[in-house]
Structure 1
């Protein structure tokens, strides 16, 4: 029997019984549509791919508990929620970068120092953007919102060990990627 001839409802029934081929058929039917929708709204190919992928990971992980009547509507609403979460996180990141800029007001620096501050801010923003989404979120909640590991674990519904892993991963990554800027800033403050 060809899975392509089955309806979404029939495929969802197979999916609830852990049928990977049924999942693959649903993925093939809808992934590109979800990607295009996300890309049209966010205008970022990498983010659109990541969100479409995350949508189907969620579908697979919750396959036995989901009771879906209209799959395209469900996927559309779920993708919309993922995009809203993404936008909300980016707004938070911009807010934190604005706070960093305010902490070091440009008028107190010479032109060279202001350029270095802008370069540091850009480097932090670029480094944060390279982190996986969950790792970035954990880092921001810990370092900018000053939440404890326990508070982050409760908010994200993850184990404390997972939060510790994400924090270790993010701080190691940022240390490596911002090493040159740290040296410049140490010299700046010592001079």
Structure 2
């Protein structure tokens, strides 16, 4: 078992051997600190949990290819960049909502803007429909019905960690699916202001 006295270099050597218990030890050692940092930056518990879960999921998925010299620095730098990504996405989301609200009440709304809105809505719906079934159900409960991870856990009789995993997976897959479209939309909507 990895103890706090062990140095990060030894730990990383173990991690590259893909031993699950070593990965769990690093998760247990750093999760709470990373969560607190993310929460102070994004101000919302669920979003902070998603950020940290995404970092650990990414680390686990890339464990055979990633080279890390200092695990603590790597993890906290990852939090920094994920928080920046989150803030950028929030700015885009707020601009998009402002755009929709403004143009929804504007009778003279530009037809190009209406088309862009319809396309984005269609792409989001298509992306959600392509999620694995369980992920789709949990994602819709979280994002469309605004249920917390705990509420979903109780309804579906699964652990909150499982719920958080599926929400994180849903967001990750949706981001991948919408990656090109969101970049185009971001520049389009930024030009409106």
TM-score scaled by length of structure 2: 0.57
Which residue does 1:66 correspond to in 2? 66
Q: Distance in 1 between matches of 2:60 and 2:172?
A: 18
Larger radius of gyration: 1
**Per-residue CA distance 1:33-91 (angstroms, 9 max, x = gap):** 10000011111000111111111111111212222122111111111111111111111
Instruction: Count residues in correspondence.
Output: 129
Alpha-carbon offset, residue 92 of structure 1: 0.9
Which residue does 2:24 correspond to in 1? 24
- What are structure 2's unaligned runs of at least 5 residues? 109-142, 148-166, 187-193
Q: Which has the higher contact order (CA 8 A, sep 6+)?
A: 2
CA contact (8 A) 1:96 1:144 kept: no
Tell whether 2:127 aligns with 1:127: no
Alpha-carbon offset, residue 8 of structure 1: 2.1
Q: Distance in 1 between matches of 2:88 and 2:57?
A: 21
Could you say what secondary structure the match of 1:3 adopts? coil
Which residue does 1:112 correspond to in 2? none
Which residue does 1:90 correspond to in 2? 90
Alpha-carbon offset, residue 127 of structure 1: 3.2
CA contact (8 A) 1:31 1:52 kept: yes
TM-score scaled by length of structure 1: 0.57
CA contact (8 A) 1:52 1:79 kept: yes
